[in-house]
Amino acid sequence: MSALQGLKVLELGTLIAGPFAARMFGEFGAEVIKVETPPGPDGKGGGDPIRSWRHLHEGNSLWWAVQARNKQSIGLNLKDPRGREIARALALQADIIIENYRPGVLEKWGLGYEDLRAINPAVIMLRLSGYGQTGPMRDLPGFGAIGESMGGLRYVSGHPDRPPVRVGISIGDSLAALHGVIGAMMALRHRDATGGRWNGQTGEACRAGQGQMVDVALYESVFNVMESLVPEYDMAGVVRERTGGALPGIVPSNTYTTSDGQNIVIAGNGDAIFHRLMRAIGRDDLAEDPELVRNDGRARRVGEIDGAIQQWCDGQTIEQALQTLRQADVPVGKIYSVADMFADPQFLARGMIEQHHFPDGEPVKLPAVVPKLSATPGGTRWLGPRLGEHTEAVLKSLGYDSATISELAKTGAIST
């Protein structure tokens, strides 16, 4: 049995934040119907833009196989009144609607939250945007990179003598998606408490209870993980700056280089851990120094401590360093590439790399679903679908006959 069996999700988003949120619902058993723009009159284009991002297989991105797994794809032209009529019919059945258009776009089409709440008061609409649904910047375009910058992450990322850098993935979008899933699940809990009837065991859909809008801004999702940034500035006038691989004010926690040119992260910032670390690297003098017993004292001598650790690393290969520090019960780790992950016994023991096959039989490995639930685990039922693969089946479930579906396809309102 799946955790979200019977839950119906309508995805109106594109690219990363909205689809990532919908993907997580699908991974745990929800029925996810993804609306995609049909191809143009020439048969080209259409679909979620992420279909053509990065490395492709048979015309679709390998990323698509992950981002759209377990979803049904319908080609639906929301600029066409007949397409919007179908969207409203789907909204009437939905428990959760996920969208990440610029604020005001859905309202222009008569598909905004107030419009859909009028026909389905129990619906939960998760809205992800750059700046949220209110405020003076609500109408501006905002991608994850902008959210990372405005939310404070870019400012503190990198080395102090160089310009800020980006994290190597679309972390702003992913953080927004995760906040969105949390918010939607809270809204589901509230709906259940106000008369909802969704039953995950029987798959009975909920058409009662109080729905609501979940408003997620990308910059706020980034801002929410910025730790003590605000009170430090407010109370102490401290502006957190870039510190490279170190964790500012928490000592020692940094990236060091071993004799074979490998990078290793050592986190000896707990008081007892620091003592064990210094003994392991032969610096009993620092282990017993009364000024270094607590973190505040170590923070004042960070350069000396980091220098001692790096000096020790200069004489160790990465495997020697890992073995020594693990034996001393010090948190330590190699910085993994994806090649390291494929060979790592911990990844393999936990089943974090899954084997699947494309429709043409070509094998492909995907990341496994997380988090891991003991009773109702998530999973991959199928890979990202072709554009419009499920249009006909979904429309027939709404009562459309084959002749009507054919006519809608001919006029460009849908694609199959």
* Alpha-carbon span 134 to 18, nearest angstrom: 18
Neighbours of 413 (CB within 10 A): 22
Of the residues 48, 95, 173, 215, only one is catalytic, namely 173
Three-class SS state of 403:
helix
Before 248, cis peptide (omega within 30)? no
* Alpha-carbon span 344 to 337, nearest angstrom: 11
Give the angle 26-37-71 at the CA atoms, nearest 5°: 15
**Closest by alpha carbon to 75, among 392, 400, 399?**
392
215 is catalytic: no
> What radius of gyration do the chain's Cα atoms show?
25
* Alpha-carbon span 154 to 151, nearest angstrom: 8
Please say whether the beta carbons of 61 and 53 come within 8 A: yes
How far lies 181's CA from each of 43, 83, 178, 227, 368, in Å?
35, 27, 5, 21, 18
For the chain, the residue count is 416
- N- to C-terminal Cα separation, the chain: 31
Helix axes 271-280, 318-327, angle to 10 degrees: 130
Structure tokens at 411: 């006029």
Which residues belong to the active site? 173
